[in-house]
C-alpha cells in the first residue's frame, strides 16, 4: 500500500501470535488488555511522525484484542491507544491520549523525546497522578514497526561451548568499539562494529568463548538524566522486550544484530544477552505512560496490597513486573523464545533475577517463571545465568537457583578482593572460592560451573581502578558522589588515583596480575570485564551507568603496560584451556580418586605441612598453597576416556613480606615454574600451546614474594 492511502479492509484476525505478525499476505495485530474498554490501532507514515489513520479493534478473544489488515506491509509504523478507567487508587491508569508502544514490537522507529505530554496525569497538579492529562503524546513516542523477519542464517550453528570450558567476557556493545582504530568510523558503537573482523579477531585471539552483552533490548534514558545532558548508558531501563536497541544499529535494521550473532558464531564465540524482565522504564506512580502502564497497569505490575495506586518495588527502579499474571509471564517467555529462535542468542543473564521469583511478594521458592523455563524445550537448552538477588526483603538468593542455572557469585568477588587487599581472616574464604564454592552449590547437587566467578563487572570499579582508588569518585554523574557502592574492598596501593611513582605503578600491575591469575585458575566459570585485560580506567567512577562518553568507552591506545597485561591474560586463558585440572566439572573431594594415591586437592602451609582445622581460623594467615593432583580428575572426557593431567601447585601470598615456601617432593622429576606474578614470568606461547619449555625449579623451597601468586607444575602418570 502507498503511504498516503488508508486501510480499507479490516478482518477479524487471530488472538495469536501477539504483536504485529506479517504472514506474507497481510499483518495480524493482537494486544492483551484485560481491563480495557476499547482499543484503537493507530497507523503512521513511514517516518512515524504523522498519524494517518485510527482503526478501532472490535474483536476480543480471551482479553486479546485483535484484527487483520490484508493491505498492511512490513515497515508500517503503528501504536495503540487504549481506553478504560483512569482510577489509580484501583490500579487502573488508562489514558487514550497517550500513544503506547506494542509490548511485542520487534522493531521501533524514532527516539523518545521527553515532555510533559508523556505522562497520564498533569505534571504540576496538586493531585499529582490522581489528575488526568489530555495532551497527545504521539509526537514524543517511538513508534512500533511491522518487521519483515526473513534472514539467511545459512549453516549458522551454536558453538555450544561446554559449561566448564567457558570464559565469559562482559562488554557493552557501544562502549567496546567507540574508539577502536580499526573499526570504520560509521560502524563504531554498533552491532556491525562488534561483528567486524578486527574486533572478532581480537576476541578470538584473547581466547574468550562467550560474550555477555549488556542490555540490547530497546530502552530509554530517564528524564532527570536527559535534563543534565546525560543518558542511560548501560540500558537497564527497558521499553520493549523484543526490539533490539536501535541506537546500536549502524543500518537501523534488525538484521544487523542477526549478522553480528552469525559472525561471532562463525568464530566459535557464543552470545549471551543481559535481560531486564524485573521492571520497565515506566518507573513509579509518577512515571510516564509509554506501554504496559497504559495497556493494563493492573495486570502487568505488582501493586501494593494496601493501596493499588502505588507499586511494590523490588528493583529499585519504581516498579516490578507481575510475573504471577499469566499474560505477563507469557510476554517474558515469548520474548525469551524469540531471542533464541529468531535472533539465535545462546543464553541470558537475568538482571535482579530474584524479583522474577516473587509470588505474593515473597521469594520462598523459585516458582512459576522458573518452572516455565525448566519445561520449555527451547529455553531449557540455552545458557541461563542469574543475578541472584534483588532489592527486596529476602531477595539475596546466592546458591539457591534451580538446576540448569549458573549464578553471579558475589561471594567470589568479595572474597578475592578482600584477600588480595590483605584483610584478616580470609584464608578459609579463599580456599572455598578457589575450588568452585562447594559450600554454596554442592549441597544441592550442582557442579562447580554453577558459580560465575568475577572480580569486576560493569557495576563497580574496573580492575585498574580497584587497585588505584580507595574511594569512589562519581562526581561526573551529577549526584554529589552519593551514587554507587561505598563498599568496594579496593586498595590504591599507596596513592589515590593516577600516580607517577614507579613503585606504586609496579605494585598496581602486580595486583592486577594477582587478581586475574586467581580468577582464571579458580574452579567455576571465569567472567572478565571487557577492558580489564588492557588496564581500562574510569578514573575512579564505580557507577558509569549514565556516562556515554570517553569515561566509559574502552581506550584502545597501546602502551607497554597494556600490551603486557593483555598478553598475560591471553596466555592464562590458553593455560586454562590446555589443562582439564583447571576447569573440572565436579567438585574436589579432598581424598584420593581411583588410581591415585594422593588427594585430589591438598592445602599446604609455608612450612610444607598440611593445613589442619586450627590453621583455617588463623586471622593473620595470608599465605597458602593448593596442590592439585592431575590423576585425581573424577569426571570423564567427551568420549568417556579417563582424564589425566599434570599436578599443579598454586602458591598465594597477600602478605607485605616475602615468605619462603617449602615445596612438596617430586617423584622422578622436578617442579617447573609456569607463572610468578612478582616477576611476570609466563613462558611464551608456541604454535598455540600455552607453555614452551618452562624452567625447572630445583630448590626445596620457593621465595614467594610479597603480594604474589606462583604456579608450578610436575608431570604425573598413573602409578
- 674: part of which helix (H) or strand (E)? strand 671-676
Is-catalytic flag, 532?
no
Q: Which stretches of 494-560 are assigned E, i.e. beta strand?
A: 525-529
Considering the candidates 313, 351, 407, 548, report the single residue annotated as catalytic. 351
Q: 381: which residues sit within 8 A by CB, 6+ positions away? A: none
Is-catalytic flag, 387?
yes
Query: What distance in Å separates the CA atoms of residue 719 and residue 717, rounded to the nearest whole number?
Result: 6
Residue pair 572/521 in contact (Cβ under 8 Å)? The answer is yes
Pairing mode, strands 210-213 and 86-87: unpaired
Query: What distance in Å separates the CA atoms of residue 85 and residue 35, rounded to the nearest whole number?
Result: 8
Q: How many CB atoms lie within 10 A of CB 150?
A: 9
Query: What distance in Å separates the CA atoms of residue 322 and residue 361, rounded to the nearest whole number?
Result: 10
DSSP per-residue letters across 140-175? GS-EEE--------TT-------GGG--EEEE-HHH
DSSP per-residue letters across 443-496? GGT--GGGEEE-S--SSS--HHHHTT-SS---GGGTSTT-SS-S------TTSS
Query: What distance in Å separates the CA atoms of residue 294 and residue 483, rounded to the nearest whole number?
Result: 31
Query: What distance in Å separates the CA atoms of residue 199 and residue 179, rounded to the nearest whole number?
Result: 12
Q: Is the dihedral of CA 495, 500, 505, 508 positive or negative?
A: positive
Q: How many CB atoms lie within 10 A of CB 10?
A: 17
Pairing mode, strands 270-275 and 347-350: parallel
Residue pair 217/248 in contact (Cβ under 8 Å)? The answer is no
Residue pair 304/90 in contact (Cβ under 8 Å)? The answer is no
Q: Provide the β-strand partners of residue 662.
A: 701
Cβ burial of 698 (10 Å; 0-12, 13-18, 19+) is exposed
Long-range contacts of 563-568 (CB under 8 A, 24+ apart): 564/509, 564/680, 565/509, 565/512, 565/513, 565/516, 565/533, 565/534, 565/535, 566/206, 566/533, 566/534, 567/682, 568/513, 568/516, 568/533, 568/680, 568/682
SS3 (DSSP) at 181:
coil
Considering the candidates 133, 387, 533, 676, report the single residue annotated as catalytic. 387
**Residue 17 preceded by cis peptide, ω within 30:** yes
Residue pair 584/600 in contact (Cβ under 8 Å)? The answer is no
Query: What distance in Å separates the CA atoms of residue 78 and residue 108, rounded to the nearest whole number?
Result: 9
Query: What positions carry a catalytic annotation?
Result: 351, 387
Amino acid at each position: 500500500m502507498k503511504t498516503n492511502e488508508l486501510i480499507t479492509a479490516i478482518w477479524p484476525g487471530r488472538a495469536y501470535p501477539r504483536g504485529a505478525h506479517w504472514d506474507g499476505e497481510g499483518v495480524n495485530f493482537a494486544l492483551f488488555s484485560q481491563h480495557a474498554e476499547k482499543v484503537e490501532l493507530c497507523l503512521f507514515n513511514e517516518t512515524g511522525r504523522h498519524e494517518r489513520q485510527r482503526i478501532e479493534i472490535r474483536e476480543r478473544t480471551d482479553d486479546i484484542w485483535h484484527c487483520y489488515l490484508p493491505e498492511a506491509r512490513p515497515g508500517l509504523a503503528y501504536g495503540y491507544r487504549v481506553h478504560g478507567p483512569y482510577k489509580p487508587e484501583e490500579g487502573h491508569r488508562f489514558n487514550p491520549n497517550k500513544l503506547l508502544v506494542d509490548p511485542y514490537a520487534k522493531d521501533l522507529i524514532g527516539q523518545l523525546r521527553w515532555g510533559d505530554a508523556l505522562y497520564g496525569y498533569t505534571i504540576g497538579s496538586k493531585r499529582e497522578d490522581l489528575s488526568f492529562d489530555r495532551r497527545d503524546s504521539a509526537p514524543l513516542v517511538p513508534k512500533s514497526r511491522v518487521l519483515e523477519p526473513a534472514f539467511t542464517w545459512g549453516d549458522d550453528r551454536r558453538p555450544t561451548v561446554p559449561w566448564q570450558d567457558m570464559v565469559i567476557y562482559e562488554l557493552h556493545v557501544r562502549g567496546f568499539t567507540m574508539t577502536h582504530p580499526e573499526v570504520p568510523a560509521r560502524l563504531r558503537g554498533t552491532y556491525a562494529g562488534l561483528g567486524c573482523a578486527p574486533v572478532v579477531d581480537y576476541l578470538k585471539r584473547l581466547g574468550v568463548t562467550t560474550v555477555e552483552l549488556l542490555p540490547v533490548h530497546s530502552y530509554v534514558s530517564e528524564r532527570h538524566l536527559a535534563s543534565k545532558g546525560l543518558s542511560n548508558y548501560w540500558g537497564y531501563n527497558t521499553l520493549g522486550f523484543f526490539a533490539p536497541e536501535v541506537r546500536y544499529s549502524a543500518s537501523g535494521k534488525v538484521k544487523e544484530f542477526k549478522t553480528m550473532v552469525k559472525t561471532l558464531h562463525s568464530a566459535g564465540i557464543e552470545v549471551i544477552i543481559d535481560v531486564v524482565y524485573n521492571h520497565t522504564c515506566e518507573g513509579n506512580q509518577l512515571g510516564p505512560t509509554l506501554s504496559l502502564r497504559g495497556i493494563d497497569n493492573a495486570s502487568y505490575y505488582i501493586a501494593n496490597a494496601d493501596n493499588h495506586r502505588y507499586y511494590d518495588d523490588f528493583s529499585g527502579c519504581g516498579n516490578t513486573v507481575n510475573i504471577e499474571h499469566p499474560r505477563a509471564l507469557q510476554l517474558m517467555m515469548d520474548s525469551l523464545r524469540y531471542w533464541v529462535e529468531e535472533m539465535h542468542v545462546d543464553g541470558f543473564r537475568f538482571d535482579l533475577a530474584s524479583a522474577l521469583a516473587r509470588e505474593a511478594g515473597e521469594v520462598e521458592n523459585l516458582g512459576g517463571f522458573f518452572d516455565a523455563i525448566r519445561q520449555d524445550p527451547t529455553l531449557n537448552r540455552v545458557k541461563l545465568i542469574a543475578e541472584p538477588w534483588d532489592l527486596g526483603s529476602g531477595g539475596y538468593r546466592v546458591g539457591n537457583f534451580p538446576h540448569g542455572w549458573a549464578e553471579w557469585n558475589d561471594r567470589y568477588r568479595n572474597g578475592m578482593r578482600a584477600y588480595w587487599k590483605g584483610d584478616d581472616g580470609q584464608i578459609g574464604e579463599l580456599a572455598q572460592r578457589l575450588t568452585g564454592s562447594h559450600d554454596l552449590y554442592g549441597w544441592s547437587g550442582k557442579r562447580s560451573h554453577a558459580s560465575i566467578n568475577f572480580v569486576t563487572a560493569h557495576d563497580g570499579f574496573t580492575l585498574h581502578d580497584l587497585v588505584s582508588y580507595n574511594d569512589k569518585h562519581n562526581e561526573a554523574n551529577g549526584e554529589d558522589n552519593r551514587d554507587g557502592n561505598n563498599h568496594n574492598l579496593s586498595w590504591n596501593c599507596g596513592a589515590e588515583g593516577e600516580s607517577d611513582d614507579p613503585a606504586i605503578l609496579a605494585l598496581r600491575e602486580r595486583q592486577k596480575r594477582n587478581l586475574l591469575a586467581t580468577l582464571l585458575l579458580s574452579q567455576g566459570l571465569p567472567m572478565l570485564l571487557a577492558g580489564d585485560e588492557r588496564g581500562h580506567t574510569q578514573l575512579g567512577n564505580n557507577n558509569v551507568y549514565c556516562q556515554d562518553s570517553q569515561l566509559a568507552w574502552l581506550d584502545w591506545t597501546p602502551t607497554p603496560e597494556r600490551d603486557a597485561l593483555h598478553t598475560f591474560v591471553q596466555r592464562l586463558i590458553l593455560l586454562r584451556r590446555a589443562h582439564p585440572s583447571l576447569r573440572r566439572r565436579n567438585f574436589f573431594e579432598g581424598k584420593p580418586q581411583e588410581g591415585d594415591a594422593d588427594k585430589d586437592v591438598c592445602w599446604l602451609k609455608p612450612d610444607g605441612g598440611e593445613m589442619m582445622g586450627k590453621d583455617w581460623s588463623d586471622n593473620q594467615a595470608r599465605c597458602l598453597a593448593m596442590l592439585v593432583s592431575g590423576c585425581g580428575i573424577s569426571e570423564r572426557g567427551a568420549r568417556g576416556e579417563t582424564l589425566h593431567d599434570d599436578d599443579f601447585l598454586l602458591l598465594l601470598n597477600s602478605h607485605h613480606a616475602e615468605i619462603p615456601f617449602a615445596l612438596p617432593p617430586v617423584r622422578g622429576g622436578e617442579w617447573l615454574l609456569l607463572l610468578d606474578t612478582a616477576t611476570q614470568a609466563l613462558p611464551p606461547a608456541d604454535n598455540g600451546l600455552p607453555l614452551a619449555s618452562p624452567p625447572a625449579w630445583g630448590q626445596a623451597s620457593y621465595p614467594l614474594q610479597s603480594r604474589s601468586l606462583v604456579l608450578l607444575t610436575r608431570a604425573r602418570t598413573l602409578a
